[in-house]
Amino acid sequence: MVVPTALSPLAAKLPKDFLWGFATAAFQIEGSTDVDGRGKSIWDDFSRQPGKTRDGGNGDVATDSYKLWKEDIALLKSYGVTSYRFSIAWARIIPLGGRNDPVNPKGIEHYSKFIDALLAAGIVPFVTLYHWDLPQALYDRYGGWLNREIVEDYKNYAKVCFRAFGDRVKHWLTMNEPWCVAILGHGRGVFAPGRSSDRNRSPEGDSSTEPWIVGHNLILSHAYAVKAYREEFQPSQRGIVSIALNGDWAMPYEDTPANVEAAQHALDVFIGWYADPVYLGHYPEFMREMLGERLPVFTTEELAVVKGSADFYAMNTYTTNLCKAGGSDEFRGRVEYTFTRPDGTQLGTESHCFWLQTYPPGFRQLLNYAYKRYRLPIYVTETGFAVKDENSLTMEEALHDHDRVEYFRGMSAAAVAAIVEDGVDVRAFFPWSLLDNFEWADGYSTRFGATYVDFATQKRYPKDSAKFLAKFFKDNIASDLS
């Protein structure tokens, strides 16, 4: 691998239509959970249960973006973004979720106005249909993602959105990070609906079988929604659709055959579990080996729908893990993760999260890996950093988010190097996140925003990282004039 070098200003230019903007998700920012006919999502009550979030925070208010959406758009505009990745709350569109349940006109109206305002501001809407906020009613009715019923209900919901917004939305993501839905929601039990074999955590759940069933139903739901889009909407609407997959680069702890193999196993479980069926038409061999009959099987007919069910590769990536053979955790491909190198040094800069350190060279490697293996343009749909202990700083201090600036400096340079020097076709870059927001099981104790949110007043203040990103893309995306 070539080491990133300083690029001449000319070579560093990204194409004119390169998309950059911020990413968010409905439940993490909207609040207003009981207005305009919204149904409950599985995160509503889950986050209110004592012990489910680190600081007891829930999504009732979040960054109040359901009300403050005009301010959010003005902020995006002030940063000069060309796109904004946000998600639609299923339970605002169909409060009870299912295909025979009523559509909520007020939900449609809200997102419709929002999309119009983005377009009026010159910002391309990049829409996620599902970012973890399943309608509670579908979980109560049949167990949500555990049940094959969900495939039809999800497809129906997706079609409602394509029909309502597809005249203006040309970039769709069916799901965000299915690995997290399956593993964190139905394996570790740390995310809603919180199922796990660990009876201290959950009264029900089977971590050895349920995540793999959920994953299977997520893939089918994605694929049948894409089929519907392609048959009924894409010919006239001319948009593109994919699925956002989380996946961090996996580096052998030491260069031994066992560790090299371990690193591949980690990639197989985090990425290949979804990407191999969707892009290549089969589950990774290693997953079949590891799980045997616990990994469901696609019928020939299903496989024909799954294979090729994405128009581009949507990459969410945050870090790099050093991988050691000999682990027992199936959710990590029986691989042990560490950030501590054999010589005792840390791989990168520590963050507020146990799973995250800065390591841009790994991002460049991952871009190369994904492009070579899946052979489609890559849209980086999430990448971001939580500064260690940022929440205990004063706002004045927090605004100077040096470690986040350095993170984005490295990640943006790595993306440019992958494009310019390695020939990887990268078409978008969405830092996570526009705002400090509801960080799931961390509540509000972990801040990922490039904009500081004072949750007492809901006022927004740009951090240094927002200024860095705004300038970087202003300088590096070609304009009509250059």
Closest to ligand GBH by CB, 157 vs 448, is: 448
Q: How far is the CB of 65 from ligand GBH (least distance, A)?
A: 14
Could you say which of 17, 49, 355, 478 contacts ligand GBH (CB under 6 A)? 355
Is the CB of 19 or the CB of 434 nearer to ligand GBH?
434
Q: Quote the CA–CA distance of 63 and 78 in Å, as a whole number.
A: 18
Of 295-354, which residues contact ligand GBH (CB under 6 A)? 316, 318, 332
Applying the rule CB under 6 A, the residues between 4 and 43 that interact with ligand GBH are: 25
Contact (Cβ atoms closer than 8 angstroms) between residue 247 and residue 278 = no
Catalytic status, residue 152: no
Q: Where are the beta strands (DSSP E) in 39-163?
A: 83-87, 124-128
Nearest to 250 by CA among 334, 325, 321, 356: 321
By CB under 6 A, name the one of 53, 104, 176, 320 that touches ligand GBH. 176
391 binds ligand GBH (CB under 6 A): no
Q: How many binding residues for ligand GBH (CB under 6 A)?
A: 13
> Interacting stretch for ligand GBH, rule CB under 6 A, among 47-55, 161-169, 172-180, 368-376?
172-180
Q: Rg (Cα) of the chain, in Å, rounded? A: 21
Please report how close the Cβ of residue 355 comes to ligand GBH at its closest, in angstroms. 4
Q: Work out which of 212, 448, 468, 473 binds ligand GBH, going by CB under 6 A.
A: 448
Which position among 210, 276, 382, 403 is part of the footprint of ligand GBH (CB under 6 A)? Answer: 382
Residue 152 Cβ vs ligand GBH, minimum distance, rounded to whole Å: 26
- Could you tell me the CA-to-CA distances from 341 to 3, 324, 363, 400 in Å, in that order? 19, 11, 18, 29
Contact between 177 and ligand GBH per CB under 6 A: yes
Burial class (CB in 10 A: 0-12, 13-18, 19+), 45: middle
409-438 binders of ligand GBH (CB under 6 A): 432
CB atoms within 10 A of CB 208: 12
In contact, 144 and 133? CB cutoff 8 Å: no
- With CA atoms as reference, report the closest residue to 207 among 196, 220, 217, 192: 196
Within its chain, how far is the Cα of 321 from the centroid? Answer: 18
Helix (H, G, I), strand (E, B) or coil at 319: coil
Q: Which of 177, 210, 302, 439 is catalytic?
A: 177
SS3 assignment, position 407:
helix
Q: Which of 210, 382, 390, 439 is catalytic?
A: 382
Catalytic site residue 210? no
User: Would you tell me which residues interact with ligand GBH (CB under 6 A)?
Assistant: 25, 176-177, 180, 246, 316, 318, 332, 355, 382, 432, 439, 448
Among all residues, which ones are annotated catalytic?
A: 177, 382
